[in-house]
Amino acid sequence: MKKQPSVNPLPSLTKYIAQAGICSRRKAVQLIQDRSVLVNNNMVTEGGYRVKSTDKVVVKGEPISQPKKVYILLNKPKDYITTSADEKGRKIVTDLLTPHISERVYSVGRLDRSTTGVLFLTNDGELAQRLSHPRYKIPKVYHITLDASLTHQDFMAIKEGVRLYDGLVTVDYIEYMHKKCDVIIEIHSGKNRVIRRLFEHFGYQVKKLDRVQYAGLTKTGLTVGNWRFLTASEVHVLKNPNTLK
């Protein structure tokens, strides 16, 4: 069996500097090479140095620290993208958080522009990396509306697993809703546009795609475009991968 790569919980020095909001990771590399960074009063020239919680990091004579960790659940509307910035001027999900959130947060388990529903955002890089890792098989549930009724034959084929160009896609659960053009699917794959590609493989077009659950989080009580902070118990569950299986 192929050994899964380990996930180091300590951030690299370049990542630590970037997460502190000083600059990008690329510019952080340059700062380190320019000998502008001290760790515990010692010059560090390797960006890969792992920063411990007890370390004192100073950049250009100014001590830096990590921002407060925040965990946000958003009911994403259509026509918003999940990148942190967009050169084309399109609406981004973090626009919905300002001016209430000063911390810089990132989407975990991204949704494309046309997809709505549950989106988790955080500045906790360690947790984001864990939730994105295939090892943990984070469950996601989608409500899908198709342009035609899903035949029983195609339903069973999807249930058995479908091989797309980038590998086998298996679903954990699939069920018809009130109409056969509406289905619910639970899946743990993180492949790009996997739901849309799955149905396109059988000749269907996805008219609406709504994520109703991510890692056990639901949008219950959240209207479209609204958000809330996660509770302490919800954060605890996310940080314990065994509880998500």
What domains does the chain contain, in order, with CATH numbers?
13-64 (3.10.290.10), 71-134+219-244 (3.30.70.580), 139-214 (3.30.2350.10)
**pLDDT at residue 137, as a whole number:** 86
Q: CA-to-CA distance for 92 and 31, rounded, in angstroms?
A: 30
**pLDDT at residue 241, as a whole number:** 62
- Mean pLDDT across 27-51: 93
Specify which residues 237 forms β-bridges with.
Answer: none
Residue 225 has pLDDT above 80, yes or no: yes
Identify the residue with better confidence: 65 or 9.
65
**Which residue stretches of the chain are H helix?**
13-19, 25-33, 125-132, 152-160, 194-200, 232-238
Residue 210 has pLDDT above 60, yes or no: yes
Strands 57-59 and 62-64, by their bridges, are antiparallel
pLDDT band for position 175 (cuts 50, 70, 90): very high
Give me the percent of the chain exceeding a pLDDT of 70.
94
pLDDT band for position 9 (cuts 50, 70, 90): low
**pLDDT at residue 181, as a whole number:** 96
Active site residues: 112
pLDDT band for position 95 (cuts 50, 70, 90): very high
**pLDDT at residue 1, as a whole number:** 38
8 A C-beta contact, residue 138 and residue 109: yes
Taking residue 131's Cβ as centre, other Cβ atoms within 10 Å add up to: 21
